[in-house]
Amino acid sequence: MATRTPSTSPTPRAAYVLGGNRIPFARAGGKYAQASNQDMLTAALDGLVARYGLQGESIGEVAAGAVLKHSRDFNLTREAVLGSALAPTTPAYDVQQACATGLETVVSLSNKIRLGQLESAIAGGVDTTSDAPIAVSEKLRRVLLDVSHAKTPQQRLQALARLRPKDLAPATPRTSEPRTHLSMGEHQALTTAQWEITREAQDEVALRSHQRLAAAYDDGFFDDLVTPYRGLTRDANLRADTSLEKLAKLKPTFGLGLDAPATMTAGNSTPLTDGASTVLLGSADWAAAHDLTPLAAVVDAEAGAVDFVHGVDGLLMAPVFAVPRLLARHGLRLEDLEYVEIHEAFASTVLTTLAAWGSEEFGRERLGLDGAFGTVDPARLNVHGSSLAAGHPFAATGGRIVATIAKELHARRASQVAAGDDSPVRALVSVCAAGGLGLTALLEAA
Amino acid sequence: MTDRYLELVNSGLTQKLAQQLGLPRPAVLRRHRPGRPLLDGPALVLGTGPDADLVARLLSSPAGGAPTTGETPAVLDGWDVEVHRHATPDVRYAAVVLVLTGVEHPDDLTAPVLAAASTLKRLRPGGRVVTLSHPALDSDAPAVAAARQGVDGFLRSLAKELRQGATGNGVVVAPGVPVSAPSVVAALRFFLSARSAFVDGQLLEVDSAAGELPTDWEKPLAGKVAVVTGAARGIGAAIADVLARDGASVVAVDVPAAGEQLAQVANRVRGTALQLDVTAPDAGDRIIAHAKARHGRLDVVVHNAGITRDKLLANMSDDRWASVLAVNIAAQLRINEALLTSGDFADEPRIVSLASTSGIAGNRGQTNYAASKGGVIGMVRATAPLLAPFGGTANAVAPGFIETEMTARIPAVTRQVARRLNSLQQGGQPVDVAEAIAFLASPAAGGILGRTLRVCGQNMVGR
Amino acid sequence: MTSPATQVALPRVPGLGGLYGRGAWAAARLAAARGTRTPSPALPDVTYVVDDVRAEPDHLTTYQHLLHEPATDALPAGYVHVLGFPVAMALMVRPDFPLPLLGMVHVANRVEQRQALTLGDRLSVRAWARDLRPHRSGTQVDLVTEVSTAGAVAWLGVSTYLAKGVRLPDAPRDDAERPAFTPPVRTGRWELPADVGRRYAAVSGDRNPIHLSPVTARALGFPRAIAHGMYTASRALADVGAARGDAFTWAVEFAAPVLLPATPDVRVVPEADGFAFTAWHPRSGRLHLAGTVTPLHP
């Protein structure tokens, strides 16, 4: 295969989303209970390769990652590439930015394409909570390390003698914040209470997510975005037949100890999920040479972070600050966006984000604006459902959102152009993440 | 699927036992492997006249050398086979070709047939007997028609007498079509080759001189873009494999639910996967759009997707009837409509549909399936004339008992019986169906219009 | 800060194990004397001095990991407390110290860190006692520890202890009630395992039996082992994080003890000038400790 050495250019060129593939997301302990991160990422890659005929292709670079990762997976993405139908000469690297991992792979690879460093790339992410790494206790770990460092049998025995039965119990993996020891749900409960988000509003967000995702599946929208895996053909968490009544029956699980009423339930929070996603990226030239249609350009991105440790802002509120900066850089307002994708970590994450953007006071005092940042018409928000319905395998969510909205952007623009309207069609993608992180990106239909 | 019985009677003690007991002893069929010679022994070409001479030259000319005829160069290169024009005693022939295009009276059959008869006991395993003849027409003189129709009966009977994996098939050349026509040459080669392993007792009509011989017989589909529906598993996956092996770029289509296997097939054949329900109203448009966008063109559509919902008609539910008809025939009609009106399927296009012996001979419990498969046979016959102006064809392949996941679900005893109910005394493999499809999809088959080729080992039911 | 002029130079920082032994002996002596006479109202008029104290890297790392501090070469303010504490202890186990060591409760602590201390600094530790005073439930005393390097005082700690039930003669009773505590919105939680008292005891040397195990704690009137006050205060300081800067005042008042294991709710938030921290029991709402970390402005 002829390899092109792209010339680096001083002016960035466009980087395009050319397509995507993911496996259906499974509930933890479900259909993918026996599948590893590497298994699932390989399956997602192979589905992408099959869809776009990339067998034996040397892709510029593949970047992916997992939030919950075994130490043996120190080269997870490369190993998945080697197990896939891609050429073994495809380089790869791992990325880890909590739930923003998937989107960050899209952003960083797009930037490399924009710089002329890459012609093609595959972004991705995978996570399994069914096959999460279990660590040994800190004491056992130290002892084992000392044993391996010991030079004489006596030293080894001495090290082992330090062990007590309780040291043999495994340390279960935790998803709580290392600094606050609060789970994400407990954190979001604080934010939910602060912004006085009602149970009804959250249940409505959840219902809409399920209804829209189900409708998209029924319309065949995901036929070229999802490849079944291990007998699962749709996201296992999807409840097409849910209703406000059913959602209202669920008992709150987060925010129980607060003064405000607890509103967050298993229905309006994302469950632990297993899955993997990939996004095919490329330059216009590469796309043309491979008979691929650019769907949307990855225009720009902005990361943010908040000081949740000291309660200054809610754990998942970083995008609230990043998005105004991102849009300002392009002279855009929220109203200029055809689509807004806000990752539904919790229904209330979406609602607190919108509440903060809609608040005059917050806009003036925290965002440095003249007033409220803006509003988002629900008709433009998470148009094909989001994580509440699909589930949220942490690092796989970014890829899911980008591939989905890029397809939607392209279709929208095509129908607009057919109707004689040549105006740009844009989408915002916003993903909150552990550690008070947020990553947001601006896409424009190609 | 493994045929345990076939394994037993072909190995060790059980082989001898079966011999002594006079049990049916199905042979292990020779199948195509790229690079293998066309035949593994000499061929005997019987008959007289220019057609027989041409066939003899075609077979015997060295590869790469163009055999010349009085008319046009038939092929770019010959097949490099050792050819005898007279039966030589003690020679074990790999093939006997009876060129009977010149028969004008049943008596004309006597010499070539008896010459052939003398070779049969020493025919090599997997040997081939192929007749070349003209169809008996209403306008023929009675003696001519008798001679020509007699070839039909002779060939079908001979095929039933052949053993050890040998097959007998015939090419029936329409009046006005020279024996050097691409489809006649290609059909002859197909029947001689290991590609037709499970095709037996069939007479395939060549209707016109259209078509184009390949520059490389190993890559007859080079540069072609082929769509295969139902490609995730079984026969569909085998079709994708064979089309890709023959040089085509393959678009593997199956329902979204079969996407995991579909992706594996697409990756194996280095094609693309298109998750699509063929019954969707826009299926045809999406197939064309995908093939055009991803591969730049569309040359071949193989309608393989099909389902069975067996039930005696008395117990047939609306849904069972309707879903089988919807998938097996209505979807094909709708997709063909889209193909024919798109303007993107006009460069010597090929449609090959999966029919079934059930659609020819009928099968208890399969009224819905047989109706749909009979429908396929009718559909290709009527579609071919619509494609002919563009050099296109529509044909069908009717598999008999093929070893697939579907037939593996048949109860064991019934399955064993079903397997033996043909001249080759075994079930066919998915690849056997795929080979026939690849042949009909090839440019050389452009003169075969609206026909249904059975791949059934000469099943006892039907024609 | 004025310290007693009489200086006693100790050759090294005393080992705390021995000190507790002597403290227990002194407690027994005081208990035997109780009832016959009130404690002597006078504090030992002496300053203990230890020069050339240095932090050990492994010890520092163990401390930092235990307290969730980053393992840098900077000595956390709580670590400096650990370095100086035995010197103050040596004072408290003197036969003429008027209060019993065992059973004394650490009720407040205030540290002024004037400059950052780092691994390798040669430290001088001075400790003295001051301000013996009545309290509504006993008698309080301040133990002052001063840590200098290169001749300048870098760190100054005042630990206030309460000897419950020990009354000064003719002392007015201080009946001031604590203000009622209403739990605020938490910013986090501490997960304190049952052995955290033992582990902090191992690193700090403060092996007061009330921290070590349920059995030893019960012997001294607690249902379970309790967390060291300085452990919890130092966790709060770690939660403030790098924002505390190099020079700050770190003040804490201890309320209800933290019975181990525990998962107290905590709130660590910026305030007008610095940070405020609070920790309380998540269900009962009882306050464990509250304090501030305030930058020292030059």
Is the fold of B36-206 the same as that of B225-455?
A: yes
Residues A248 and A383 in one domain: yes
Query: Average pLDDT for residues C260-286, to the nearest whole number?
Result: 94
B5 is catalytic: no
Cβ atoms within 10 Å, residue A165: 6
pTM metric for this prediction? 0.87
Q: Which of A226, A233, A234, A407 to mutate to test the interface with B (most CBs of B within 10 A)?
A: A233
Residues A365 and A251 in one domain: yes
Cβ(C145)–Cβ(C121) under 8 Å? Answer: no
Residues of A with a known catalytic role:
99, 392, 432
The answer to whether C190 contacts A179, with C-beta atoms less than 8 Å apart, is no
Cβ(B95)–Cβ(B130) under 8 Å? Answer: yes
Give the DSSP letter of residue B252: E
Instruction: Give the C-alpha separation, B98 to B81, whole Å.
Output: 16
For residue A177, the chain C residues in CB contact (below 8 A) are 188
Residues A81 and A147 in one domain: no
Residues A82 and A65 in one domain: yes
For residue C236, the chain A residues in CB contact (below 8 A) are none
The answer, yes or no, to whether residue C31 has pLDDT greater than 80, is no
The answer, yes or no, to whether residue C10 has pLDDT greater than 70, is yes
C26 pLDDT band (50/70/90 cuts)?
low
Closest CA to A404 of A43, A12, A25: A25
The reply to whether A350 falls in a domain is yes
The answer to whether A311 contacts C187, with C-beta atoms less than 8 Å apart, is yes
Residue C166 has a pLDDT of 79
The reply to whether A421 falls in a domain is yes
The answer to whether A53 contacts B259, with C-beta atoms less than 8 Å apart, is no
The reply to whether A336 falls in a domain is yes
CATH number for the domain formed by residue range(s) C1-172: 3.10.129.10
DSSP string, A105-126: HHHHHHHHHHTTS-SEEEEEEE
Q: Look at C51 and A258; give whichever has higher pLDDT.
A: C51
C174 pLDDT band (50/70/90 cuts)?
low
Q: Which fold has domain B36-206?
A: Rossmann fold (3.40.50)
C6 pLDDT band (50/70/90 cuts)?
confident
For residue A229, the chain B residues in CB contact (below 8 A) are 260
> Smallest Cβ distance to A55: which of B267, B275, B276?
B267
What are the domain boundaries of chain B?
A: 36-206, 225-455
The reply to whether A234 falls in a domain is no
Q: Phi-psi bin for A202: left (phi > 0), alpha (psi -120 to 50), beta?
A: alpha
For residue A186, the chain C residues in CB contact (below 8 A) are 189
For residue B271, the chain A residues in CB contact (below 8 A) are 50, 53
The chains in contact with chain B, meaning 3 or more Cβ pairs closer than 8 Å, are A
Which residues have CB under 8 Å from B211's CB, separation 6+? B181, B182, B183, B186, B391, B443, B444, B445, B446, B447, B448
Full 3-state SS string of C194-246: CCHHHHHHHHHCCCCHHHCCHHHHHHCCCCCCECCHHHHHHHHHHHHHHHHCC
Residue A165 has a pLDDT of 75
User: Mean pLDDT for each consecutive 10-residue tract of chain A (446 residues)?
Assistant: 49 92 95 94 97 96 94 94 97 97 98 97 94 71 79 83 75 76 94 96 98 96 96 95 96 88 94 95 97 96 96 96 98 96 97 98 96 96 97 97 98 96 97 97 97
The answer to whether A310 contacts C275, with C-beta atoms less than 8 Å apart, is yes
Residue C1 has a pLDDT of 62
Residue A2 has a pLDDT of 45
Assign B117 to helix, strand or coil.
Answer: helix
The reply to whether A437 falls in a domain is yes
CATH number for the domain formed by residue range(s) B225-455: 3.40.50.720
Residues A152 and A94 in one domain: no
Residues A284 and A382 in one domain: no
> Smallest Cβ distance to C187: which of A193, A257, A309?
A309
The reply to whether A103 falls in a domain is yes
B152-176 residue pLDDT tens:
999 999 999 999 999 999 999 999 9
Instruction: Give pLDDT tens digits along chain B (463 positions).
Output: 577 777 777 777 777 777 777 777 788 999 999 989 999 999 999 999 999 999 999 999 887 655 444 444 444 568 999 999 999 988 999 999 999 999 999 999 999 999 999 999 999 999 999 999 999 999 999 999 999 999 999 999 999 999 999 999 999 999 999 999 999 999 999 999 999 999 999 999 999 999 999 999 999 999 999 999 999 999 999 999 999 999 999 999 999 999 999 999 999 999 999 999 999 999 999 999 999 999 999 999 999 999 999 999 999 999 999 999 999 999 999 999 999 999 999 999 999 999 999 989 888 999 999 999 999 999 999 999 999 999 999 999 999 999 988 788 888 888 888 888 888 989 999 999 999 999 999 999 999 999 999 999 998 776 5
Give the DSSP letter of residue A5: -
> Smallest Cβ distance to C189: which of A182, A310, A312?
A182
The answer to whether A291 contacts B294, with C-beta atoms less than 8 Å apart, is yes
- In sequence order, what are the beta bridge partners of C129? C143
CA atoms within a 13 Å half-sphere pointing along the CA-CB vector of C266:
33
The amino acid present at B77, given as its one-letter code, is: D
Q: Which fold has domain C181-298?
A: Thiol Ester Dehydrase; Chain A (3.10.129)
ipTM, two decimals = 0.85
Give the DSSP letter of residue B354: E
What percent of chain C lies above the pLDDT cut of 70?
Answer: 88
Q: Which of C65, C186, C275, C277 to mutate to test the interface with A (most CBs of A within 10 A)?
A: C186
Q: CATH number for the domain including A108?
A: 3.40.47.10
For residue A224, the chain B residues in CB contact (below 8 A) are 274-275
Cβ(A76)–Cβ(A369) under 8 Å? Answer: no
Residues A124 and A251 in one domain: no
Domain that holds residue A40: 16-133+277-289
Residues A112 and A202 in one domain: no
Domain with CATH 3.10.129.10 in chain C: 1-172, 181-298
The answer, yes or no, to whether residue C103 has pLDDT greater than 50, is yes
- Catalytic residue (one of B191, B369, B401, B439): B369
The reply to whether A178 falls in a domain is no
> Smallest Cβ distance to B273: which of A50, A229, A293?
A50
The answer to whether A53 contacts B263, with C-beta atoms less than 8 Å apart, is no
- In sequence order, what are the beta bridge partners of A302? A440
Cβ(A193)–Cβ(A349) under 8 Å? Answer: no
Residue A171 has a pLDDT of 64
Instruction: Give the C-alpha separation, B323 to B307, whole Å.
Output: 8
The chains in contact with chain C, meaning 3 or more Cβ pairs closer than 8 Å, are A
Q: Which helix (H) or strand (E) holds B58?
A: helix B50-60
Interface of A with B (CB under 8 A): 43, 46-47, 49-53, 55-56, 85, 220, 222-224, 226-230, 233, 291-293
Q: CA-CA distances (angstroms) from residue B118 to A266, A311, B121, B126, B128?
A: 83, 99, 7, 17, 14
Q: How many domains does chain A have?
A: 3
Q: Which of A186, A254, A310, A317 to mutate to test the interface with C (most CBs of C within 10 A)?
A: A310
Residue B70 has a pLDDT of 44
Which residues have CB under 8 Å from A20's CB, separation 6+? A48, A225, A277, A278, A279, A280, A399, A400, A402, A403, A404, A406, A407
